[in-house]
Amino acid sequence: MSHQSGRHFLQIPGPTNVPERVLRAMARPTIDHRGPEFGRLGLELLEGIKAIFKTKGHVIIFPTSGSGAWEAALVNTLSPGDKVLMFETGQFSFLWQEMAGKLGFDVTYLQSDWRHGVDAAAIEAQLRDDRQHQIKAVGIVHNETSTGVASNVAAVRKAMDRAGHPALLMVDTISSLGSIDYRHDEWGVDVAIGGSQKGLMLPPGMSFNAISEKALSASKSAKMPRSYWDWQAMLANNKNGFFPYTPATNLLYGLREALQMLQDEGLENVFARHSRHGEATRRAVQAWGLEVLCLNPAEYSSSSTSVLLPAGQNADEFRKVVLEQFNMALGSGLARLAGKVFRIGHLGDFNDLMLAGTLCGVEMGLAMAGVPHKKGGVQAALEVLTQAAKGARVEAAPARA
Ligand code: PLP
């Protein structure tokens, strides 16, 4: 088909739909990134982004995708050959620990089944065994985008404290930031990794490190070679709102608009909206008689839902039908989940009717692709949305404290 009328539905778990307001904000002439107007913009954003991480500390902004911020977290705080402990939650934890290995760190990767979040007790046990305190960092993914499982970060912090271990805690918040509650300072995280293209409603191409005082001080003695990712050069320039190299100026215009939108809606309302959409989506999946990949209700993700298809069904064939017939992109299963699951992204600039449209596309697609299922998923989701609109409280995922 050469032209499909109407809007494309981008329902992958990021990059997410970029709102018109953000697109318009970016469609402005690029300015001198060493001039006074830019300095004011930089200062405003470097301060404004802190609220999203719930931190009073520094947040570094890199013109790079999320993987760059992964690397920055590691090379700024660690020295060659350092031991790091990482926990398997899915493909993104896998890629991060693989990167750590390629950088020459000595990685212990605790295995799991891709259907649960981080096991804080397993981390505690490893740290207790490490009497010499050779493990320098623990790395976890808050919301594992490949599985739709959100881990309890505060529980990991408590486990580390119980073990009395001084390792840094690094948390990937790429698909939770701005959609699932994340509390950098309160949870005692040392380095958070964020990205522009999910809850922040921006195009891909910008990423973040939120850093604690402890991480900052570790960076002063850390011996890993670094240049582009160097926090110190960034912080020195950031003092006046500038960057050591050319920043992604137009993405920064977009960030200013996105921060305004999040502030106008109120972060807690943003989390409640995501939680409601997650719940409505899971009710639909349940009514279809399909299985949500995440096995622990306390770890359901508010930003995306991974749906297992019955054995013998090909999730990629199903996604192809949905894309061709309804102009909607659903997320694919990654790595070991390829062909077995599809992912519904319900994060970012999203509302009840967009979710309803998304679920209609899924339900019609299931029928067209011949996937065995029951009718009524959309109806079940609409019930949740209607009750919520009438004022009934849809329980937000409990704050993970
Ligand atoms: N971590 C998580 C949780 C992600 O979802 C992604 C990408 O989707 C990444 C890391 C990697 O980020 P990027 O693809 O922007 O480099």
* Tokens linked to 391: 């004022």
Residue 385 sits at φ, ψ, to 5 deg, of -65, -40
User: Which one of 1.10.1750.10, 3.90.1150.10, 3.40.190.290, 3.40.50.720 gives the CATH number of domain 266-389?
Assistant: 3.90.1150.10
Q: Is the CB of 250 under 6 A from ligand 1?
A: no
Q: What does pTM read for this prediction?
A: 0.97
Instruction: Take atom 13 of ligand 1 and give the residue whose Cα is closest.
Output: 66
| 261 pLDDT higher than 60 | yes
Q: Is the CB of 69 under 6 A from ligand 1?
A: no
Q: Is the CB of 278 under 6 A from ligand 1?
A: no
What pLDDT, on a 0 to 100 scale, did the predictor assign at position 78?
Answer: 98
Q: Is the CB of 65 under 6 A from ligand 1?
A: yes
% residues pLDDT > 90 (the chain):
96
Q: Is the CB of 313 under 6 A from ligand 1?
A: no
Provide CATH 3.40.640.10 ranges for the chain: 20-262
Instruction: Report the atom number in ligand 1 closest to the C-alpha of 197.
Output: 15
Q: Is the CB of 148 under 6 A from ligand 1?
A: no
β-pair partners for 84: 107, 137
| 398 pLDDT higher than 60 | no
What pLDDT, on a 0 to 100 scale, did the predictor assign at position 376?
Answer: 97
CA 67 / ligand 1 centre spacing (Å): 6
What pLDDT, on a 0 to 100 scale, did the predictor assign at position 395?
Answer: 63
CA 193 / ligand 1 centre spacing (Å): 10
Mean local confidence (pLDDT), 19-27: 98
What pLDDT, on a 0 to 100 scale, did the predictor assign at position 1?
Answer: 59
Write out the H or E segment, with its range, that includes residue 323. Answer: helix 315-326
pLDDT tens-digit readout, 37-77:
999 999 999 999 999 999 999 999 999 999 999 999 999 99
| 255 pLDDT higher than 60 | yes
What pLDDT, on a 0 to 100 scale, did the predictor assign at position 400?
Answer: 40
The pairing of beta strand 168-172 with beta strand 106-110: unpaired
Provide CATH 3.90.1150.10 ranges for the chain: 266-389
Helices 377-389 + 352-368 axis angle, to 10:
170
Write out the H or E segment, with its range, that includes residue 232. Answer: helix 231-238
Q: Which CATH number is associated with domain 20-262?
A: 3.40.640.10
Instruction: Take atom 12 of ligand 1 and give the residue whose Cα is closest.
Output: 66
| 163 pLDDT higher than 70 | yes
Q: Is the CB of 208 under 6 A from ligand 1?
A: no
Q: Where are the beta strands (DSSP E) in 190-290?
A: 191-195, 207-211
CA 173 / ligand 1 centre spacing (Å): 9
C-alpha 265/C-alpha 260 separation (Å) is 9
Buried b (16+ CB within 10 A) or exposed e, 165-186: bebbbbbbbbbbbbbbbbbbee
